[in-house]
Amino acid sequence: MQDEPQFLDVGEGAARRRIAFRRRAPARDDLPGVVWLAGFGSDMVSTKASALDAHCAERGQALLRFDYSGHGASEGKFEDGTVSLWLEDALTAIRTETAGRLALAGSSMGGYLALLVARALAEAGEASRLAGMVLVAPAIDFTEALMWARASEAERRELLEKGVWRRPSEYSHSGYRITRALIEDGRRHLLFGATIRSYCPTRVLQGMADLDVPYRHALTLVEHMAVDPVTLTLIKDGDHRLSRPQDLALILEAVDGFA
CATH code at 135? 3.40.50.1820
Residue 180 lies in a domain: no
Q: CB neighbours of 25 closer than 8 A, spacing ≥ 6?
A: 62
- Amino acid identity, position 42: S
Can you give the pLDDT at residue 168? 78
Residue 51 lies in a domain: yes
Q: Distance between CA atoms of 75 and 141, rounded to whole angstroms?
A: 25
List per-block mean pLDDT (blocks of 10 residues) for the chain, which spans 259 residues.
Answer: 85 95 96 98 97 98 98 96 98 97 98 98 98 98 97 94 87 80 98 98 98 97 98 98 98 95
String of DSSP letters for the chain: -PPPPEEEEESSGGG-EEEEEEEEPPS-SSS-EEEEE--TT--TTSHHHHHHHHHHHHHT--EEEE--TTSTTSSS-GGG--HHHHHHHHHHHHHHH--S-EEEEEETHHHHHHHHHHHHHHHTT-GGGEEEEEEES--TTIIIIIIITTS-HHHHHHHHHHSEEEEEETTEEEEEEEEHHHHHHHTTS--TTS----SS-EEEEEETT-SSS-HHHHHHHHHH--SS-EEEEEETT--SS--SHHHHHHHHHHHHT--
Residue 25 lies in a domain: yes
Residue 157 lies in a domain: no
Can you give the pLDDT at residue 1? 44
Q: Of the candidates 69, 80, 215, which has an alpha carbon nearest to the alpha carbon of residue 139?
A: 215
Can you give the pLDDT at residue 195? 98
Residue 231 lies in a domain: yes
End-to-end CA distance of the chain, in Å?
26
**Cα 39 to the center of its chain, rounded Å:** 5
Residue 165 lies in a domain: no
Can you give the pLDDT at residue 176? 84
Number of domains in the chain: 1
Residue 188 lies in a domain: no
Residue 228 lies in a domain: yes
Contact yes or no for 35/11 (Cβ under 8 A):
no
Can you give the pLDDT at residue 166? 86
Q: Which domain holds residue 212?
A: 6-141+196-256
Name the pTM for this structure.
0.96
